[in-house]
Amino acid sequence: MSDGRRGPPGPELPRIVGDMMAFVGLGEAELDAVRRSAPVVLRHEAALTAAVYEHLLSFPESARFFVLEDGAPDLPRIERRKASLGRWLRDTATAVMDAERAYSLLAMGISHSHRTWGLGGQVPAELMVGSMSLVQAALTRILHAELPTPAEALEASIAWNKLLLVHLNVILMGYFLPPPSPRT
Ligand code: HEM
């Protein structure tokens, strides 16, 4: 597992992700549970992304990323962001955790933590954690409502939660990286 050093993980990242998956017990059975429930989850993709963004827009600390200079919602940007969240959800639902996925999650972390966006600046880590919690809660409700038995919903929910927290961990690794050195 990562030893907590704050340097770029480089070629070690896929191994670190593999260790994380082993630690939380995210194996083939859990990845299969995610894949099996994917069609049900993705039927609700639009409602899920809309609910997450409605929530983000209802708190000033997250809404400031999605407003124009005059404070009005930046609707095209909000639609783009919902589409990005939907794309991430579809990729996640494939339950593929290869090197390409690991580096794309790290890049996602870096883009939220190291770039500045409109009036918002950099996205605080706690909003990433909070958003993942919103997604987890929404997924659990969907699985509970849609899967044939509560036992299947429970197993699928456990598997999704493990996968989402491994994603979150890689995203947060981007936050631990040092800021880019100033141009000379
Ligand atoms: C579950 C958590 C989240 C996921 C999976 C996610 C996913 C993404 C993806 C895939 C992109 C586009 C690709 C990239 O630049 O990396 C993106 C861009 C962005 N996200 Fe997130 N995001 C999350 C949470 C948040 C939160 C909490 C905020 C702010 C409150 C936020 C603000 C932004 C902004 C400002 C951009 C780029 C802006 C633009 O192009 O207009 N994201 N996000």
The verdict on residue 73 lying in a domain is no
The answer to whether the CB of 111 is under 6 A from ligand 1 is yes
* Residue-level pLDDT at 100: 96
Q: How does DSSP classify residue 6?
A: -
Q: How much distance in Å is there from the Cα of 81 to the middle of ligand 1? A: 6
Only one residue has tokens 């209802």, namely: 58
Percent of the chain surpassing pLDDT 70: 94
pLDDT in tens, 74-113: 999 999 999 999 999 999 999 999 999 999 999 999 999 9
User: Would you say residue 20 has pLDDT above 90?
Assistant: yes
pTM: 0.92
Beta-bridge mates of residue 117: 121
Q: How many domains does the structure of the chain reveal?
A: 1
- State the alpha helices, DSSP H only, in 44-121: 45-57, 60-63, 75-93, 99-114
Per the listing, tokens 């890689």 go with 170
pLDDT band at 179 (very low <50, low <70, confident <90, very high): confident
Residue 53 is encoded by which pair of tokens?
Answer: 């963004």
Distances (CA, A) of 163 to 21, 59, 66, 157: 8, 27, 28, 10
Nearest-angstrom CA–CA distance, 86 and 50: 10
Q: Is residue 134 part of a domain?
A: yes
* Number of Cβ atoms within 10 Å of the Cβ of 91: 14
Residues in the chain: 184
Residue type, 166: V
Judged against a pLDDT cut of 80, whether residue 3 lies above it is answered with: no
Give a yes or no: residue 119 inside a domain: yes
Any domain includes 59? no
State residue 6's pLDDT score: 60
pLDDT greater than 70 at residue 165 = yes
Ranking 7-16, 28-37, 79-88, 101-110 by mean pLDDT, the lowest is 7-16
Distances (CA, A) of 77 to 24, 68, 73, 92, 110: 35, 10, 9, 22, 19
Q: Which of 61, 75, 81, 171 to mutate to test the pocket of ligand 1 (most atoms within 8 A of CB)?
A: 81
How much is the pLDDT for 71?
85
Here the CATH number for the domain that contains residue 170 is 1.10.490.10
Domain around 15: 11-44+90-176
